[in-house]
Chain A
Amino acid sequence: MNKMKALVCRECGKEYPTKAIHVCEMCFGPLEVKYNYDEIKKVVSRKAIEQGPHSMWRYLDLLPVEGTNFVGPHAGFTPLVRAKNLGAYLGVEELYIKNDTVNHPTLSFKDRVVAVALTRARELGFETVACASTGNLANSVAAHAASANLRCYVFIPGDLEAAKVLGNLIYKPHVVEVEGNYDDVNRLCSEIAGEHGWAFVNINIRPYYAEGSKTLAFETVEQLGWRTPDQVVVPMASGSLLTKIWKGLNEMKHVGLIDEVRTKINGAQAEGCSPIATAFKAGRDFFKPVKPKTIAKSLAIGNPADGYYALKATAESKGAMESVTDDEVVEGIQLLAQTEGIFAETAGGVTIGVLKKLVKQGVIGKKDVTVAYITGNGLKTQEAVIDAVGRPTRIQPSLLAFEKTFQLRRTNGGTP
């Protein structure tokens, strides 16, 4: 089955062959994958999916790769956790956490998009892969490249924290520290992607890369027993994840896996970098780029490539957008950890903070089946909560000291 029909311009609709290109030659609009849905409909079914691998590749029929020689064969199919404690605290009866803090192999949702990007890159004949990143994306590209024996270049700004650099160096890619700021790295990488025959995952491979995010929607629906949630809360950086969750839900309906999409898509940003949420709240269909200043570094994209499309998807779904302060981000991380035992990175704090706000505003109702997307592991951003978690209780090494400190009475043995 030739499931990919073409790459198509999201602005003017011009079609291109399914190669490593990402910008329309006519209008410079971004390209995305167009599928042969009629062919896909003939083979896709709930039963076939349920019998597939315990990874995101169970949705292979709706992903933009041709074969089954996967890079990242274990990515995805992460737990959908029924969050009874957090739901009770917030006042939402049926709340779920889509827990990508345990995604394989690098503990963030980027493992989904990178698995698709590198699988497609290898199919297109690339031997060198690259990305520009300050965190999760670099980790994932470097790890997947190592396992697939692909040459790898990771570009980072010169002032990146040591811990984040280490997270990349361990996989032994070429880590290129560019003298300059974020904007300098940004422009250099765009130029390198244009000049060298490499697979730059979020530049010339972006049409394929971005499609990996759809699997978060597919899994949510399947794990809910083939029903769509009423509300989802999605963190926004470039805005791509949100648009692809909306696309994924609608694709499932289009190929007959579900009857209806009744989901409102809600976007979450940190106040220190909220160009998309600010535009939405102001009723604008365009965003004004900003200089990011937030602890939620993985969402700190001031000029988001898919910002316009995220605004459109949220409006189409009749959802909402909100933003939270850095203090609310930390509170959100703590709340999730203390109610559900899930330690999220700062993006997760943004999601939980916005979820809380939307419930309080009545945008998300008590009876709404709601899913919050938690996209990265808290072990990666420990510095964000270091001042908020307190200290251990220190005692002398004696039973008496222990009992006195915690005001415990002996119970004569192990019975409670």
Chain B
Amino acid sequence: MASLRFHIRFPEDKIKEPIIYQIGHEYNVVTNVRRADVRETTGWMDLELSGDVAEIERAIAGLREKGVIVDPIELNVVE
């Protein structure tokens, strides 16, 4: 059981979709939103995913397939 933290961003055309709900149903992970800012044309969330590491990896790939951009919670760490 692992808990990993991510910063995710929604493109404008995905803002109305219940993507977090879908991910929680399609994969065996617990989704936990800690901080978010969703507006008309932009949206982001700081999200914790808990579960088996392999399942979290699948959930991340699933988020990306849905058009969501997934970054580490620290954003860019390569300087």
Q: How far is the CA of A12 from the CA of B2 in the complex (A)?
A: 25
Decide yes or no whether B72 CB sits under 8 A from chain A: yes
Decide yes or no whether A324 CB sits under 8 A from chain B: no
Q: How far is the CA of A200 from the CA of B5 in the complex (A)?
A: 17
Decide yes or no whether B20 CB sits under 8 A from chain A: no
Which residues of the partner chain B approach A238 to less than 8 Å between Cβ atoms? 75-76, 79
- Which listed residue (A157, A200, A304) contacts B75, Cβ 8 A? A304
Interface-forming stretch among A69-77, A128-136, A330-338?
A128-136
Interface-forming stretch among A43-51, A184-192, A382-390?
A184-192
Known A-B contacts A11-B35, A190-B77; the reply to A289 vs B5 at CB < 8 A is no
Known A-B contacts A28-B34, A132-B79, A157-B78; the reply to A187 vs B42 at CB < 8 A is no
Least distance between A13 CB and chain B CB atoms (Å)? 13
Contact check, A202 vs B71: say whether CB atoms are below 8 A apart: no
Q: How far is the CA of A28 from the CA of B78 in the complex (A)?
A: 20
Q: How large is the interface on B (under 10, 10 to 19, 20 to 34, 35 or more residues)?
A: 10 to 19
Known A-B contacts A28-B73, A186-B71, A186-B72; the reply to A286 vs B78 at CB < 8 A is no
- Which listed residue (B9, B37, B78) contacts A182, Cβ 8 A? B78
Contact check, B5 vs A28: say whether CB atoms are below 8 A apart: yes
How many contacting A-B pairs (Cβ < 8 A)? 80
Decide yes or no whether A7 CB sits under 8 A from chain B: no
Contact pattern, B 28-60, Cβ under 8 Å of A = 1, otherwise 0: 000000110100001000101000000000000
Q: How far is the CA of A288 from the CA of B37 in the complex (A)?
A: 13
Contact check, B34 vs A189: say whether CB atoms are below 8 A apart: no
Contact check, B75 vs A303: say whether CB atoms are below 8 A apart: yes
Least distance between B7 CB and chain A CB atoms (Å)? 8
**Known pairs A189-B78, A200-B77 / 8 extra A-B pairs, C-beta < 8 Å:** A23-B5, A28-B46, A110-B79, A132-B79, A191-B72, A203-B74, A238-B75, A238-B76
A–B Cβ pairs within 8 angstroms, 8 of them: A26-B34, A132-B77, A133-B78, A186-B71, A238-B79, A301-B76, A303-B76, A305-B74
9 interchain residue pairs of minimum CB distance: A190-B72, A28-B46, A132-B78, A137-B79, A305-B75, A28-B34, A303-B75, A301-B76, A303-B76
Q: A residues within 8 Å of B by Cβ?
A: 11, 22-23, 26-30, 110, 131-137, 155, 157, 182-183, 185-187, 189-191, 193-194, 200, 202-203, 206, 237-238, 286, 288-289, 301-305
